[in-house]
Structure 1
Amino acid sequence: MLPVPCTTMLVGKNASYDGSTMIARNDDSGSGSFTPKKFVSIAPEQQPRHYRSVLSHLELDLPENPLRYTAVPNAVAGKGIWAASGVNEANVAMTATETITSNPRVLGADPLVEYLPPKDGRPEVPGGIGEEDMVCLVLPYIRTAREGVRRLGALLERYGTYEMNGIAFQDSDEIWWLETIGGHHWMARRVPDDCYVVMPNQLGIDRFDMDDALGEQKAFMASTGLKQWMEDYHLDLSLNGVLNPRDAFGSHDDADHVYNTPRAWYMLRTLNPHTRRWDGPQADCTPESDDLPWCMVPERKITVEDVKYVLSSHYQGTPYDPYGAYGDGSQRGKYRTIGINRNDFLAIIQMRPGRDPVEWLSFASNAFSVSVPMYAAVTRTPDYLANTTGAVSTGNYYWCSRLIAAMADASYKKSQFHIEHYQERVAARGHALLNRYDALLAAAPDDAARLALRHQANDEIAAMAEQAGAETLKLVLDELSNGMKNAFSRSDA
């Protein structure tokens, strides 16, 4: 109904610099549109007990014992909640969704469950669940990442979905990635602890162990009857007995080679620069390769800054950079960038061993945004991140970020230095504040004191980000103003 482009990255605990599991996703609006976002905490009493989807008109009852959770919902009402990403009070996280692709064979064998409005005396027919609904229907009710897969899987099998999506679940030990298949089927794979995963709007899992999914479920899970359904509709295209879901359920369209695969290529190229040849006529992998790996072992441990960098990238250092001033100009802007003008937000959720979980939040175009850390185990969030409305205002994080991005893009050569300084300063101060409050939290006498410290920390971090944003906004505004067409060098001063 409303396909939303996004880019996802997942980092196993042994692949990260501090033993954290990390799940991260850009949430992007459709072409030509922008969606204001906010960061909130949802108390159990605020969670609905009877849910009605705005887009598909599906209605269902929810359990009576929801957990508190954070979310990044739409700030403007009208199209549903779109809670997007969050952490619940059991320290389990979810990000939903990555819109993915499929093929006609799959959609013909298990059609999407689409909403049908009333017509000629026929009553409306509700659709299935979608991105609008999933976090709200699942995150408040799970205590492990595996439970998240099972709850969402059961909902998909019962109610179906009207779109193809990928969803990540995370706790301090495991990350699971679930991909929907047609209207009711699904599969999920555990991210190997020593690997990271990149996902660019395509069905991504490239190897699946059906025996494990039907047995011990150590690293794979699947919908009831998936194997028989595949056999009935001749969906397995493998010649060697190893199921490649990307071949069976996904797509290799020409459009993928412009819109999707280049993003995976750039992220893999950045984090594994020496593992394969990524450039030139002898390249092992190119921006248009259909067999890019779903997961890889990185060449070194991955940091929060690495995740932010690749999910903000515009193909720096390649001929495809739309801001590039070198190489073949005809190649610039050839491929859809990761850090795009219509990024709504980026959430990097970091489940840190022995410490509180943190959500690193960026709003608006990631190429120009900063990443602000917020403690997740809170009952309220700072106004600067929570007070977004549809009205443009420099008094909140979303609109300040959006204004900085638009002005810096228009004055890129002059403003890029200001953006780099802004990003480095906020990241460094964010880490410093986390380090200080982590020590205070470790010494706090009880839960009430720890909660108060988290609120204090988030308020201080938000104030720091607000000041840095205001200062940067002035700098890029000055650069853009100096480049106006009615500028004239002579003055009376």
Structure 2
Amino acid sequence: MKKITLLSALITSAITVPAFACTTILVGNQATTDGSFIVARNEDYQANNAKQFIYHPAEAKQKADFKSNANDFTYPAAENALEYTSLSDFDTHGTSMGEAGFNSAGVGISATETIYNGTQALAVDPYVTKTGIGEDAIENVILPRVKTAKEGVELLGKIIEKQGASEGFGVAFVDKTGIWYLETGSGHQWMAQKIPANKYFVSANQGRLTTYKPHNPDYLASPTLVSFAEQHALYTPVTGEAFNFHKAYSQDTKNDQTYNYPRVWTLQHMYTKGLNTKITQGESFPIFLKPSHKLSVADVEQGLRNHYQGTSHDPYANSNPKEAYRPISVFRTQESHILQVRPNLPIAIGETEYMAYGMTALSVYIPYYQGMTEVPKALTIGTDKADNLSANWQFRKLQTIAMTNWNEFSPIVQKAYQQFEQQTAVKQQELEKQYLAIYKKQPKQAQALINQFEQKTVDNALALTNELTNTLLTKMTHNTDMLYHFEGA
């Protein structure tokens, strides 16, 4: 994930370079066990940077223009702003760095997957670092305004064309009709594609889209995408060779072979058996794949928790912080989210955001329904300093302790959280059944059911987390005692 910028001398004019990273998984509804669309991502930055779950009520007119906390990008206040949720950095107070959420029209966004556009493309169309749109602004600008996923793509695309992109990024949009994924190509060029309904897509800090069909309704792009590439020799038409967005606007470098390729390769081989791709040859990885079996939210959670366990590249089991392969699950993950859209259900319960604080391999995914209007207080607080009240830090403390003795402590945490997630799934079914029975005739009572469910689920998750923290502290105390016992005669 990009939170700060670093000067680069890769090209003649200075550009911003994404300093951090994420992993994205998108699944079409014909590739899932329950016919849902799934958009998921780990947001990786710094372990001390607390995230807050923010509910933004609808507004006839927003009180002020949007002003980025990362640069000088601004955007006019929205008229008839829709209700939406965001996962914001503690120091933005919910005004920016939203990352993920749903709005009341049923549109979900995950923003952003940091990507690296090609140096040749950026040499002729650099990022607009001072006033362009970037990760800090995207969700908070787009979600209050759009009523479909496609509208979200088109609005972000127009902003990129007019005001520029401040960095390279990929953004996922979802609604009841499908998933769109947009990638930047340079400061003002972009393209987006609708994810095939029967396939899944994985991205790990690289531009992944390749094919562009200008007259196909499943593709959108900046008007000069191809002509600009031709004009600046990013693409030279050759008989039989179609325009390739990745080749023209992205890059493959030596660093990708250890930082990005292993994550994509691992997830593709996890979900699709029998692939013969080699881990170092990312240029040949398929863009979209059919899974060997239909995927569930639990399968996506498993993917986001992967750290090459069972192999020599597992940095935690092997106590190797210098492992060359960058794992999917890293300690500095701030939050991980899975946006699920079930089109056959009312939006209030059919759109669910599963969110885990901190390191995915040592955290628990809790479901938050779009119909939630009262966010449990523990989710809305927390700073960059440890405390005893915020959900962020209660989860983070447990993870920090578990990391001191991975092989002994992590199985305890993982087993308890797995059981909790399974129990919560059963309770979700009960809630949804109750909601469907009354929501038409008793909408207020139905909404209250959702708020009560969320509060109780968060309370139970935090109670379990504190119990686990004390369990590990007890074991750590004993281990320390045995190490420095000095018993005497």
- Name the TM-score, length of structure 1 as normaliser: 0.89
Name the CA distance, whole Å, in 1 between partners of 2:84 and 2:94. 21
**What's the counterpart of residue 28 of structure 2?**
12
2: CA distance between counterparts of 1:44 and 1:432? 32
Whole-angstrom distance in 1 between the partners of 2:223 and 2:116: 22
| Alignment-derived partner of residue 181 in structure 1 | 185
The answer on whether the counterparts of 1:313 and 1:367 sit within 8 Å (CA) in structure 2 is yes
**Which of 263, 271, 283 in structure 2 is aligned with 1:290?**
283
Q: Distance in 2 between matches of 1:376 and 1:79?
A: 17
Give 1:88's match in structure 2, choosing from 103, 115, 118: 103
User: Equivalent residue of 2:25, what SS?
Assistant: strand
Aligned 8 A contact 1:195 1:295 in 2: yes
Alignment of 1:57-96 (within 5 A): 57-77=72-92, 81-96=96-111
Instruction: Tell me, yes or no, if structure 1 residue 54 matches structure 2 residue 69.
Output: yes
Distance in 1, matches of 2:448 and 2:325, equals 46
The one-letter code matched in structure 1 to 2:451 is H
Is the contact between residue 185 and residue 249 of structure 2 (CA under 8 Å) also seen in structure 1?
A: yes
Which residue of the other structure, out of 429, 432, 436, is the alignment partner of 1:435? 429
The answer for unaligned runs of 5 or more in structure 1 is 116-126, 278-283
C-alpha deviations, 1:258-317, integer Å up to 9, x for none? 111111011111111x2313xxxxxx3214533212221000011111111111111112
Distance 1:369 1:108, change over 3 A: same
CA spacing shift, 1:429–1:172, aligned 2, 3 Å: same
**Paired amino acid for 1:413:** N
Name the stretch that deviates more: 161-170 or 219-228.
Answer: 219-228
Q: Structure 1, residues 437-471: CA drift from partner, whole Å, max 9, x if none?
A: 10011011232222211111111211121111111
Change (3 A) 1:238 1:456: farther
In the alignment, structure 1 residue 41 sits paired with structure 2 residue 55:
yes
Q: Per-residue CA shift, 1:3-25, capped at 9, x if unaligned? A: 34111110101111111101011
Alignment-derived partner of residue 241 in structure 1: 241
Question: Where is the strand percentage greater, Structure 1 or Structure 2?
Answer: 2
What amino acid is aligned across from residue 262 of structure 2 in structure 1?
P
Q: CA deviation at 1:78?
A: 8.6
Residue 165 of structure 1 corresponds to which residue in structure 2? 169
What is the deviation of 1:237? 6.1
Q: What is the deviation of 1:155?
A: 1.1
C-alpha change, 1:479 and 1:487, in structure 2 (3 Å) is same
1:170-210 CA distance string (max 9 Å, x none): 0122100000111111100100001111010111113222x
The normalised TM-score by structure 2 is 0.90
Q: Distance in 2 between matches of 1:330 and 1:472?
A: 25
Are residue 479 (structure 1) and residue 475 (structure 2) matched? yes
Name 2:203's counterpart in structure 1. 199
AA partner of residue 475 (structure 1): T
Question: 1:103-127 CA deviation, whole Å, 9 max, x = no partner?
Answer: 1111012111122xxxxxxxxxxx2
1:349 to 297, 322, 339: 339
Cα distance in 2, alignment partners of residues 79 and 107 from structure 1: 32
Does the Cα contact within 8 Å between 2:170 and 2:183 map onto a contact in 1?
A: yes
Corresponding residue number in structure 2 for 1:263 = 263
Structure 1 residues 246 and 227: alpha-carbon distance in aligned structure 2, compared to 1, 3 A threshold:
closer
What is the number of equivalent residue pairs in this alignment? 464
1:132 paired with 2:136, answer: yes
Query: Which residue in the other structure is 1:114 paired with?
Result: 129
Q: Quick one: which amino acid aligns to residue 86 of structure 1?
A: G
1:447 and 2:462 are equivalent in the alignment: no
Displacement of 1:65: 0.9
In structure 2, what is the equivalent of residue 334 of structure 1? 324
2:153 is paired with a residue of what secondary structure?
A: helix
Q: Which moved more, 1:457-466 or 1:50-59?
A: 50-59
CA distance in 2, matches of 1:52, 1:80: 8
- Partner residue of 2:382 out of 368, 383, 388: 388
* 1:204–1:351 distance in 2 versus 1, CA, 3 Å: same
Classify the secondary structure of the residue corresponding to 1:38.
strand
Mapped partners of 1:433, 1:265: distance in 2: 35
Asked if 1:301 is matched to 2:305, the reply is no
| Alignment match of 2:356 (pick from 342, 362, 377) | 362
Task: Give me the whole-angstrom Cα distance separating, in 1, the residues matched to 2:193 and 2:454.
Answer: 34
In terms of mean alpha carbon deviation, does 189-198 or 447-456 score higher?
A: 447-456
Contact 1:311 1:339 in 2 (8 A): yes
SS of the equivalent of 2:401 reads helix
Distance of aligned partners of 1:44 and 1:370 in 2 relative to their CA distance in 1, 3 Å threshold: same
Structure 1 residues 223 and 48: CA distance shift in structure 2, 3 A: farther
State the 1:487 CA deviation. Answer: 3.4
Provide closer, same or farther for how the CA distance between residues 227 and 233 of structure 1 changes in structure 2, counting only shifts above 3 A: same
- Whichever residue aligns with residue 302 of structure 2, its letter is Y
**Secondary structure, aligned partner of 2:144:** helix
Q: Is the 8 A contact 2:23 2:205 kept in 1?
A: yes
Task: Name the structure 1 match of 2:373.
Answer: 379
The alpha-carbon deviation at position 34 of structure 1 amounts to 3.5
Which 10-residue stretch deviates more, 298-307 or 314-323?
314-323
Aligned to 1:119: none
Q: Secondary structure at the match of 1:65?
A: strand
Cα offset, 1:162, TM superposition = 1.2
Residues 236 and 44 (structure 1 numbering): CA distance in 2 closer, same or farther, change over 3 Å?
Answer: same
**Paired amino acid for 1:74:** D
User: In structure 2, how many angstroms separate the alpha carbons of the residues matched to 1:455 and 1:144?
Assistant: 26
The code of the aligned residue for 1:232 comes to: Q
User: Could you tell me how far apart the structure 2 residues matched to 1:374 and 1:75 are?
Assistant: 19
Shift of 1:331: 11
2:40 corresponding residue in structure 1: 24
Could you tell me how far apart the structure 1 residues matched to 2:309 and 2:76 are? 48
Equivalent residue number for residue 466 of structure 2: 470
Q: CA deviation at 1:478?
A: 2.3
Q: What secondary structure, in the 3-state scheme, does the structure 2 residue paired with 1:176 have?
A: strand
Change (3 A) 1:77 1:375: same
Q: 1:471 to 1:288 in 2, by over 3 A?
A: farther
CA contact (8 A) 1:433 1:461 kept: no
Deviations 1:49-85 (A, max 9, x none): 4111122212231331110001100112499620010
The runs of at least 4 consecutive aligned structure 1 residues that moved more than 3 Å come to 45-49, 77-80, 237-240, 329-332, 485-492
2:10 maps to what in 1? none
Given the superposition, is the C-alpha separation of residues 440 and 97 from structure 1 closer, same or farther in structure 2, using an over 3 Å criterion?
A: same
Sequence identity percentage: 28
Closer/same/farther in 2, CA of residues 238 and 36 from structure 1, 3 Å limit: farther
Residue 481 of structure 1 and its aligned partner are, at CA, apart by 2.7
CA distance in 2, matches of 1:137, 1:74: 16
User: Which sections of structure 2, spanning at least 5 residues, go unmatched?
Assistant: 6-17
| Residue 108 to residue 400, structure 1, CA distance change in 2 (3 Å) | same
